[in-house]
Structure 1
Amino acid sequence: MENKLKILICDDNIAVHESLSAYFKDENMECVSVFDGAEALDKITNGHFDVIILDIMMPKMFGTDVCREIRKTSDIPIIMLSARGEEFDRILGLELGADDYITKPFSPREVVVRVRTILKRLKPQNASQISQRCIVIGEMTIDVEGYEVKVSDKKLKLTPKETETLIYLAQNRNKVLTREQILNRVWGYDYFGDTRAVDTLVKRLRQKFPASDKGFEIKAIYGVGYKLEVHP
């Protein structure tokens, strides 16, 4: 019997829990509800979850601080919620390591779709869906099916979207990819039409690589996008 996916919903609004829990239950997913940031961090530290739905404005501990703490030890997918919808919130959430961002009010069905999208990307793909199972570039090895990246045999702790971006760049090495192409491939839909989400994600990805020469470089192409340039 297949285990149910387990979702942690962290929000101080009971209506959010009621609406999301009903939809997730219909999708045969198990939900756990917490109502403040401190409780959220405790649940995450002491339990296993497949996805975290995390509100930014919560009592005791902001969602941004919870996200920052999670990313010190875990690459679990995180979808952040906010009632404000300000540009600052979206970019800040991505900088801290969130995988997605949804502005309130939202459709519970949309949240379920985004959860499904993230989890689908983490599943192993068959041979017809990928061009290579393993990509080796310089000191880097990418296990495409296992979503695992190693540099000089040391595993990098990357979020799902960081890994997806790196795979896309590596599969198109030495080729310039526009921000729109990356946005469409990694998010799979129009992410508020905001290509700065790509800049934030690539910046975070670069910071996770060791400082020494790795045999490649993720280069920004001014006014266009990015490319993974392989050193000769």
Structure 2
Amino acid sequence: MDQNITVLICDDNIAVHESINAYLEAEGMKSVSAYDGEEALRLLQENHYNLVVLDIMMPGIFGTDVCREIRKTSDIPIIMLSARSEEMDRIIGLEIGADDYLTKPFSPREVVVRIKKMLKRVQPKKENAHYLKAGNLSIDLDGYEVLVNNQEIELTPKEVEVLAFLVKNSGKVINREELLHKVWGYDYAGDTRTVDTLIKRIRQKVAKASPDFSIRSVYGVGYKFEVGV
């Protein structure tokens, strides 16, 4: 892993910082700590980070509000943490722009594994970028850029991956379980509403930008990407 990777950890529990940082250091990465939402937003304005680990329940500004503020100006990968296991917390986190979600108690090793996987997916562009094209939509799979009519549409890394998988399988109905498995790479314990939330965000950002394609819901099954509809 790149020695210059720095992760911003925002949590009011010092034990969370210590445990995650120990595993990050073992992988050659660094971390910076913020203990409330206001401090996290200040640090993000002042410095560059490669990823944010963000707790939902914090003093002052909640993590959900911090996430909303980040998404106004940045597509930095965000992993949200919560001491609650309710499905709605996960849905809200994804709805406002988080890329991944973990409930406490969690293994710091798992957090770092997910950090590494996410960072691999947002590496800088290579000289021979791999593109997907569908109508006036193009996706740079190396640079994680999406263009509609040559205008860039800002998507989070996870949104790009979901859209790319649908485009690769254009015209085919993809069920939610397959999307969870192929895009996230691990089992979300049947939480298929995670997919619905991501699709909703993609439609809001991309599908409405062009009448040349659509992401169609197939009741009781999943979604289909179609061009020229």
Pick one of 157, 160, 165 that aligns with 1:160: 157
Which residue of structure 2 lines up, in the alignment, with residue 178 of structure 1? 175
8 A contact 1:151–1:214 mirrored in 2:
no
Shift of 1:94: 0.3
Shift of 1:186: 1.1
Which residue of structure 2 lines up, in the alignment, with residue 129 of structure 1? none
Q: 1:133 to 1:88 in 2, by over 3 A?
A: same
Aligned length: 226
Which residue of structure 2 lines up, in the alignment, with residue 226 of structure 1? 223
Q: 1:103 to 1:212 in 2, by over 3 A?
A: closer
Which residue of structure 2 lines up, in the alignment, with residue 62 of structure 1? 62
1:222 alignment partner AA: Y
2:133 alignment partner AA: V
Distance 1:124 1:10 in 2: 25
Equivalent positions of 1:117-136 (< 5 A) are 117-123=117-123, 133-136=130-133
Q: Deviations over 1:89-126 (max 9, x none)?
A: 10000000100000000000000111111112223799
Q: Name the SS for the 2:73 alignment partner.
A: coil
Distance 2:94 2:189 in 1: 14
Q: CA RMSD in A?
A: 1.7
Which residue of structure 2 lines up, in the alignment, with residue 12 of structure 1? 12
Q: Deviations over 1:107-148 (max 9, x none)?
A: 00000111111112223799xxxxx92222122111122111
5+ residue gaps, structure 2: none
Q: 1:147 to 1:12 in 2, by over 3 A?
A: same
5+ residue gaps, structure 1: 127-131
Distance 2:77 2:91 in 1: 17
Distance 1:54 1:22 in 2: 17
Equivalent positions of 1:142-161 (< 5 A) are 142-161=139-158
Distance 2:111 2:212 in 1: 39
1:199 alignment partner AA: D
Q: 1:190 to 1:210 in 2, by over 3 A?
A: closer
Distance 1:143 1:87 in 2: 32
Q: Deviations over 1:29-82 (max 9, x none)?
A: 110001000000111122111110000011110000000011111110000000
Q: 1:33 to 1:172 in 2, by over 3 A?
A: same
1:197 alignment partner AA: T
Q: 1:146 to 1:214 in 2, by over 3 A?
A: farther
Q: TM (normalized to structure 1)? A: 0.93
